[in-house]
Structure 1
């Protein structure tokens, strides 16, 4: 059968911009998958998704007008059930054949074959291939049903019948047109009360003709761009906007660049069909407002692209992506400049008003803001963070760091009460830093206030100074301990308090800042200093254990993402005494050791030793009476350990874990010989105890860096 390319387009009213790309991809992929499943499109068919503000479309190559017939083999029943002793069909078999549209005449043609349990009867037939009209209807229905619609709306269509009436339709937006072309032939399908055709509509204002007639499936994108003034491809439209933004910035000069924001670029791509980038500007007086405020209001409220100079500072010029291309764009430019001016004026007003009160004067107001009904107000939370920050600061830097961390922690949340953060919650912390400088506080404190939310997401930068790290640790530890303490734990798909993100932030700060402090000590500090008067002893103990486990699980996942294998990660003994900054060094040593030729044998021996020690009665003492060694193999192992183990321990104490494990590789031969020639569980209790002591010494030495038995396969 001759294959031709297929084009399906659904023309609708303006789709939600943040969901457009996902809707377009889902529509095309489900439609194509359904066609492939019915044999109407080959597995290697090329699928192209189109999505613009007013259309979803898919182009699929190599689609058949009718799928090929398919041989079908249906299992009916066991032979013993379908045929009697004389080989005649039973009533059960005849009934089953009748259900398939045949009769006793088909019995002779039934196939006998084993089905894994017994011999069964199979009815073989040929299923006619699906016709494109029926197959596409099924695929289209499935594609619409599976669209990831953020919110469904209901609208009315006039019923197409002799009696006037209305029917309700549920879809993301009202649909007004349906195109289905197989080559140049219209495929008769229906969807959302619409019948398919070969016409669509272009740009609302700039289309050359209306409606736009599509000659065939392959001319869709070209015809729509030429006659309809629409770039149908989301990716092409996005690339065109990026190109125009760069060109406009170059035209402004001075090394200006549009702000990089892929989410904004995608949203704007979903808002326009024929992009036209224009250069606008605002009064330079607004540049006295923190640039984060101006950038946010232009991006969030107006979908503009602010221009930054070569030094990364905001200029008073910005770029607008218009959906029209008039010969004289001055009216469009002027309109956008008028629209943005009140937004910037509001930001300036908020900034000026906020600076009339110091951050310190706002501390008392935090006591009136509820944080959580089981954990009190923001004021109470601030006191907990202060106590934790003081204790951590004392551990890491003494009185000076403890004092600066206390000051920053006291003021860190006060910008929540400012007008600017009330309008733009995304600026919390950032505005606190600006207001701290205005109040005459040091840069150290200002940076700490600004940075204490960091890292806010994967790949985000860490706080810039140690005071900020201490306050950020205290803030995140307080959140984790508090939420775990009241049983407010994250589930598989819900984490409303971002506890996983807080855990990863703590891990990153401890590891990347090389903070030599045991995790258990930090948790004890957070629980004792922050919640000692709120949680009883049992809750404190349970919280300590559960938060530690939660952090270790996150850390293990992070390490595997960095390329360490699961056995390597599991070899590290995660307990509350561990210093997290030490773990990557140990893992690197384990990875290097695992590459040695001696590693498999030593790992297997280590596992064997561990099992022997576990099965022994009572605690095994790591003491050896050299004179009680009998077999030559145990004497040789003891002798080898006298030089190898001290060398490995010396490297371990010096922090050179790789060299420590490499030194132990020399024990492979004497360990192998020991297990080949020595009976550990000797009949003589004294001899047995001495050999267990030797193995205990060896086990302790081998597992200082990591549990090498985890590497055994």
Structure 2
């Protein structure tokens, strides 16, 4: 028996373009995995997925018509239950075997087929049975049902389908879009499967307007893509179509010359790929007068509303030309180009109108309007929130740059949310902050204030740039901290995957600014200042600060590990909860220390010391009475601590954490000698207390940079 290739296609109404890529991957991968699980694929089998706005398809090579039979070992029951004292089958065993369809008439043969495994009371009886391999008809039906059931459908539709049985009537079908036909070919043979009320055949439909034939007949599985292209005028592969669009966009920009470049957006490229079956890129234009509007507004309206690709000049400035991905290829594209230009013009005119109207009022005149905008029913209005952000921004600015920075941070914080009341941001919420910066400059404010207004939302996502100035940093920190403190203060904590106020993103933004900007801010004290901006009785969650700090350090640990830091090194540094700006230097110091030959022994000793001090049940003072040092090893350790610690402390205070830990590495030999020759828990209480004091002194000296015990295996 030889294998043949398989093609399965589900032809439907237009699928959601933003979801098409996920639907494509899910449909094909689940179908393939199910066939593989049932043994219908071979080691050489390969998967190729296809997806257009109106179809999901999967091609699997080297598929068997029937899977091999398999021998399966089944556990029956304990030997003590299955066999009597003479070793003959018990009634319970015979009943079970009969239910399994095993012939029990020949007892000697039956006993010979049984296997015994285990010992004593755990010894059990097993039987090898042959399970017939799945046929392609039944296996593909199961795989297809599973692939449809597991599709990540954004929203399910319900529609009526006329039944194809002898009794007339209608049945309800639930799917992402109404399905019209099902194609399933193994080689050139139709596989008789069903789905969504449809029977499989060998036909499908091509392009709505440009297909050469209707229906399109697929002769065999391997001719699917070529037949769809020639007879159906459809580029069936999602990745092939996406690549074609990208190449056509680049070629169209190159043809224009003068350094034109496409503003490529990967998400938009995916979405447009999900909108067309045979892409055709056309060049269009709009009136240059619209370029007086901020280019962010024009770009957003072209991309979000019209799915167009803007064109930039060599300097990165928006031009009045744009590219359209059409789904038709007429001989004369003039009508298509003209239609798209007519469609975009009112959109751009709206943007210009909003921009002109917004500039008739200053940002300062909009501040009072924030008092009428509800922020949260427990936390007040946007106006009240702005007052809290201003107070936090002033405090941060004072710490980072004195009175001047505090004043500029206060001004920027006062105006940062006012663009929420503008027409432009009302139409395009994605432009909040950006439009505030434009309007601030129009009002005659400095670039520092304008940049801070624009940047106070940053970083908005992983890898996003940070605010450009300390004014922007102060306001961005204040804005995020106000949100975090408020939400934690009313007990609105993230749970599982639910985080409606993006508190995880806010914490990561705070961490990035504190660490990457190396800011000398102590987070607990800043949180105290932020909590102080709320009136009495507003923050009702008693452990809000502790919960928020734990939440922040958990996010920090995850963030550092994702950046490639060793988990033990991260835990060692984070355990001490140092100033955020010091974390990178402390991590570097710990990594350098871990590479030293003394590191493992000192880390293990540190862990041992910590356990000893913890088990002592006492609040051990790090002090030593030299007259009570009896053993040579404890005298040597005390002398080593006395000579080493001052230098290590001096390096620590200077911020040279790497040198501080390397200095302490010299303690390895006296520490090893101490544990080899000294009994800490001496019978003499005074000696015991003195030795515990020596260990406490050593423990404190070694763990200033990081908790070195976390490095122990």
What TM-score, normalized by structure 1, do the two folds share?
0.97
> In the aligned structure 1, how far is the partner of 2:622 from the partner of 2:87?
79
Structure 1 range deviating more: 294-303 or 224-233: 224-233
Unaligned runs of 5+ residues in structure 1 are none
1:422-468 deviation per Cα after TM superposition (whole angstroms, max 9, x unaligned): 11111111111111111111111111111111110011111111111
Name the structure 2 match of 1:494.
Answer: 498
> In the aligned structure 2, how far is the partner of 1:492 from the partner of 1:173?
31
> In the aligned structure 1, how far is the partner of 2:707 from the partner of 2:83?
64
Cα deviation for residue 139 of structure 1 reads 1.0
> In the aligned structure 1, how far is the partner of 2:135 from the partner of 2:468?
65
Cα deviation for residue 172 of structure 1 reads 1.0
> In the aligned structure 2, how far is the partner of 1:11 from the partner of 1:43?
29
Paired positions, count: 709
Q: What pairs up with 1:514-663 in 2 under 5 angstroms?
A: 514-528=518-532, 530-535=533-538, 539=541, 542-574=543-575, 578-616=578-616, 618-663=618-663
Q: What pairs up with 1:58-69 in 2 under 5 angstroms?
A: 58-69=58-69
Cα deviation for residue 79 of structure 1 reads 3.2
Cα deviation for residue 97 of structure 1 reads 2.6
* Pair 1:400-2:401 in alignment: no
> In the aligned structure 1, how far is the partner of 2:703 from the partner of 2:525?
23
1:594-622 deviation per Cα after TM superposition (whole angstroms, max 9, x unaligned): 11111111111111112222233533232
State which of 361, 369, 373 in structure 1 corresponds to 2:373.
Answer: 369
Name the structure 1 match of 2:387.
Answer: 383
Name the structure 1 match of 2:339.
Answer: 335
Structure 1 range deviating more: 288-297 or 674-683: 674-683
State which of 144, 150, 154 in structure 2 corresponds to 1:140.
Answer: 144
* Pair 1:241-2:245 in alignment: yes
Name the structure 2 match of 1:113.
Answer: 116
Structure 1 range deviating more: 82-91 or 167-176: 82-91
> In the aligned structure 1, how far is the partner of 2:575 from the partner of 2:361?
48
SS of aligned partner of 1:123: strand
SS of aligned partner of 1:531: coil
Cα deviation for residue 78 of structure 1 reads 2.6
Name the structure 1 match of 2:236.
Answer: 232
Name the structure 2 match of 1:418.
Answer: 422
Cα deviation for residue 86 of structure 1 reads 4.2
Unaligned runs of 5+ residues in structure 2 are none
> In the aligned structure 1, how far is the partner of 2:19 from the partner of 2:610?
56
Cα deviation for residue 691 of structure 1 reads 2.3
Quick check: 2:575–2:707 contact (8 Å CA) kept in 1?
no
Name the structure 2 match of 1:678.
Answer: 678
> In the aligned structure 1, how far is the partner of 2:117 from the partner of 2:319?
79
Name the structure 1 match of 2:690.
Answer: 690
Quick check: 2:378–2:538 contact (8 Å CA) kept in 1?
no
Cα deviation for residue 575 of structure 1 reads 6.0
> In the aligned structure 2, how far is the partner of 1:145 from the partner of 1:535?
47
State which of 262, 277, 289 in structure 1 corresponds to 2:293.
Answer: 289
1:371-414 deviation per Cα after TM superposition (whole angstroms, max 9, x unaligned): 11100111111111111111111121111111111111111111
What TM-score, normalized by structure 2, do the two folds share?
0.97
Name the structure 1 match of 2:46.
Answer: 46
State which of 155, 175, 179 in structure 1 corresponds to 2:179.
Answer: 175
SS of aligned partner of 1:196: strand
Structure 2 vs 1, CA of residues 558 and 573 (structure 1 numbering), >3 Å: closer, same or farther? closer
Root-mean-square deviation (CA, aligned residues, Å) is: 1.7
Quick check: 2:117–2:126 contact (8 Å CA) kept in 1?
no
* Pair 1:218-2:219 in alignment: no
1:77-103 deviation per Cα after TM superposition (whole angstroms, max 9, x unaligned): 233323334444443333323322344
1:565-584 deviation per Cα after TM superposition (whole angstroms, max 9, x unaligned): 222112125567x3101011
Cα deviation for residue 532 of structure 1 reads 4.3
> In the aligned structure 1, how far is the partner of 2:197 from the partner of 2:412?
62
Name the structure 1 match of 2:99.
Answer: 99
> In the aligned structure 1, how far is the partner of 2:221 from the partner of 2:686?
89
Cα deviation for residue 70 of structure 1 reads 1.3
Name the structure 2 match of 1:260.
Answer: 264
> In the aligned structure 1, how far is the partner of 2:159 from the partner of 2:7?
26
1:627-683 deviation per Cα after TM superposition (whole angstroms, max 9, x unaligned): 432222122222222332222122111111111111111111111111111122223
> In the aligned structure 1, how far is the partner of 2:513 from the partner of 2:17?
37
State which of 348, 351, 356 in structure 2 corresponds to 1:347.
Answer: 351
Structure 1 range deviating more: 263-272 or 605-614: 605-614
Structure 2 vs 1, CA of residues 128 and 515 (structure 1 numbering), >3 Å: closer, same or farther? same
> In the aligned structure 1, how far is the partner of 2:544 from the partner of 2:151?
42
> In the aligned structure 2, how far is the partner of 1:563 from the partner of 1:118?
47
SS of aligned partner of 1:149: coil
Cα deviation for residue 203 of structure 1 reads 1.1
Cα deviation for residue 106 of structure 1 reads 5.6
SS of aligned partner of 1:104: coil
Structure 1 range deviating more: 640-649 or 283-292: 640-649
Cα deviation for residue 684 of structure 1 reads 2.8
Structure 2 vs 1, CA of residues 494 and 44 (structure 1 numbering), >3 Å: closer, same or farther? farther
Name the structure 2 match of 1:251.
Answer: 255
SS of aligned partner of 2:201: coil
> In the aligned structure 2, how far is the partner of 1:118 from the partner of 1:542?
52
1:195-250 deviation per Cα after TM superposition (whole angstroms, max 9, x unaligned): 11222221111112222222211111122112211111111111110001111111
* Pair 1:275-2:279 in alignment: yes
Cα deviation for residue 184 of structure 1 reads 1.5
SS of aligned partner of 2:521: coil
Cα deviation for residue 344 of structure 1 reads 0.3
> In the aligned structure 2, how far is the partner of 1:548 from the partner of 1:51?
47
* Pair 1:156-2:160 in alignment: yes
> In the aligned structure 1, how far is the partner of 2:308 from the partner of 2:571?
49
Quick check: 1:457–1:501 contact (8 Å CA) kept in 2?
yes
Name the structure 1 match of 2:481.
Answer: 477
Quick check: 2:419–2:436 contact (8 Å CA) kept in 1?
yes
Cα deviation for residue 339 of structure 1 reads 0.2
> In the aligned structure 1, how far is the partner of 2:389 from the partner of 2:622?
45
Quick check: 2:576–2:707 contact (8 Å CA) kept in 1?
no
